[in-house]
Chains A and B, each alone.
Chain A
Amino acid sequence: MPAGSPPTQTSTTGPSTTGPRKHDQPHARARLISEHSAIIAGQATTLGVTFEIDEHWHLYWDGQSDSGLPPRIKLKLPEGFTAGPVQWPAPKRLVVPGPMLDYVYEDRVTLLIPLQASTMVATGSTAEIKADLEWLVCKDVCVGGEATLSLALPILSAGQDVVLSSDVKTLFAQARNRLPRQWPMDASAPKLEWSEDRLIIRAADAKKLAFYAGNDGVPLADAVTQGEAMGDTLALNLDWPSGAGSSPRVRGVLELWPRDAASPSTTMLYAVDLPVPRDNSTTTPPPSGSR
């Protein structure tokens, strides 16, 4: 096995089914990629599932869209390999007739999955990694897609050269660029003000703010009109108590467009995971560590 040879990829479509709903990979084509060309026992890399999406069509983020379904990934890993949770790049908002609010991906998205090789994996062999995928891709209509993808990752010995796969570098960079960062623990953090069932977020340097409601958080009462605002203030009415459990939290992603941005597409993305204060206090304890 030549050192540093890139992983090979085969793509087979899932079982075909009758009827119009599963067309293999209609309107979105999936690839399974690896950030590095090989892996060394005891070390890690990142896998990616990249979807190339037809114009006007979209896939769904793993959050509180009013409709749709995020892609489902089932990894089949050989002995000695473990995968971390999927990392979802931040989505964009899409208002659809209803009106309803969905959080979607367009054009292209790469979902990232950390992969760890134990120290026991056999050097000189190849890890066969499989991914069963199912997704819903929609325009104004929705179509289901599915694919079974595989990737052969050479396992090298310590000291051998493991290089970044150059052809997919951009895909990983684009995905990482859209991962939310940890909520700042210093004065630069946006200010939070709670009152009754309302959370007001203020960021002095922002010309636009948007909040994307994530899973297991209190839903927004009106994501369509309140989820995004021009200026430095975002006021969110929360759908609480009907949508809350015993320890409600606001979860999701805050996107901030800075006033003095180097380019129009430069934004800040923060992971949000805040406990809803029970006593309607106007200040909040610092947010707990985010994902």
Chain B
Amino acid sequence: MAIGGLALGAAAYEPPKDAPKDSAAHKDHAKVTAKVGEKAPDFTLTDVDGKSWKLSDATKAGKIVVLEWYNPDCPVIVAHHKDAKTFNELHTNYSSKGVMVVAINSSAEGKQGFGKERNAESRKEYGIEYPILLDAEGAVGHMYGAKTTPHVYIVNKDGVLAYAGAIDNQKKDGKVNYAKAALDELLAGKAVTTAETKPYGCGVKYSSK
């Protein structure tokens, strides 16, 4: 049974009492192990150029890492890459300070935004200057509990998850960029004041299976 974004009269999924473990929506996905304040789950993914990228390689090299959950065709992502250059600016302004920005695409095969070609093309389209990693199985997305695109996670130099949530507070007047605020605090050796916020954006396009 496919539980896509189509309601088709079903108001909600109600699990039958003896649902087999692998029934739709109850597939034994990797549990969410990422928790703010604890060591960020390590992972290795391949980028759109076929290069391998491992989180702990970056943190061991002393980098603070910003993860941007990404889908090139989500209107909210487009707004942050066309109207505004929110994430590219983080890269531009902070890479000389030892910060690395990385995009992760967890769109499953057949879903919006999936695939090497589309993501490589979007990198040119939006002028993205940092790696875009492909997570089509959704394993890393599930480990981190990534819900939206964008959903932002920041891992400090010790490999600890220091921020998780929205990129900003969405206000036009009095906008607060939570990622920027967290990076400024981490670079000043301070604790992150706003460490967790509710993310916003399109849903990550995980597999329906």
Q: Which residues from A are CB-within-8-Å of B13?
A: 95, 99, 224-225
With a cutoff of 8 Å between Cβ atoms, the chain A residues found around residue B12 in the complex are 92-95, 210, 227-228
Identify the stretch in B68-76, B92-100, B154-162 within 8 Å (CB) of chain A at 4 or more residues: B68-76
B205: A residues at CB distance < 8 A = 97, 140-141
A58 on the B face (CB < 8 A):
yes
Partner of B202, one of A97, A142, A228, A242: A142
Instruction: Answer whether A69 and B147 are a contact pair too, CB < 8 Å, given A96-B5, A97-B4, A140-B6.
Output: no
Q: Is the CB of A96 within 8 A of B4?
A: yes
A285 proximal to B (CB < 8 A): no
Cβ-defined partner of A140 (8 Å) among B5, B15, B76, B201: B5
- The size of the chain A interface, using a CB distance under 8 A, is 41
Q: Does A102 contact B (CB under 8 A)?
A: yes
B3, B202, B206 interface centre (most CB from chain A within 10 Å): B202
**A66 interface contact, C-beta 8 A:** yes
A93-B12, A142-B202 in contact; A106/B207 too (CB < 8 A)?
Answer: no
In angstroms, Cα B5 to Cα A58, docked, is 9
A98 touches B11 (CB 8 A): no
Write out, one digit per residue, whether chain A residues 238-264 have a CB within 8 A of any chain B CB (1) or not (0). 000010000000000000000000000
A224 nearest CB across to chain B (Å): 7
CB<8 Å pairs between A and B, sample of 8: A66-B203, A67-B204, A69-B201, A94-B7, A95-B13, A97-B108, A140-B5, A228-B11
Q: Contacts A19-B78, A67-B147, A93-B11 given: A141-B112 contact, CB under 8 Å?
A: yes
Q: Which residues of chain B have C-beta atoms less than 8 A from A242's C-beta?
A: 35-36, 196
- Within the assembled complex, what's the spacing in Å between the Cα atoms of A99 and B84? 30
Bitwise interface map of B from 55 to 76 toward A, beta carbon under 8 Å scored 1, else 0: 0000000000000000001111
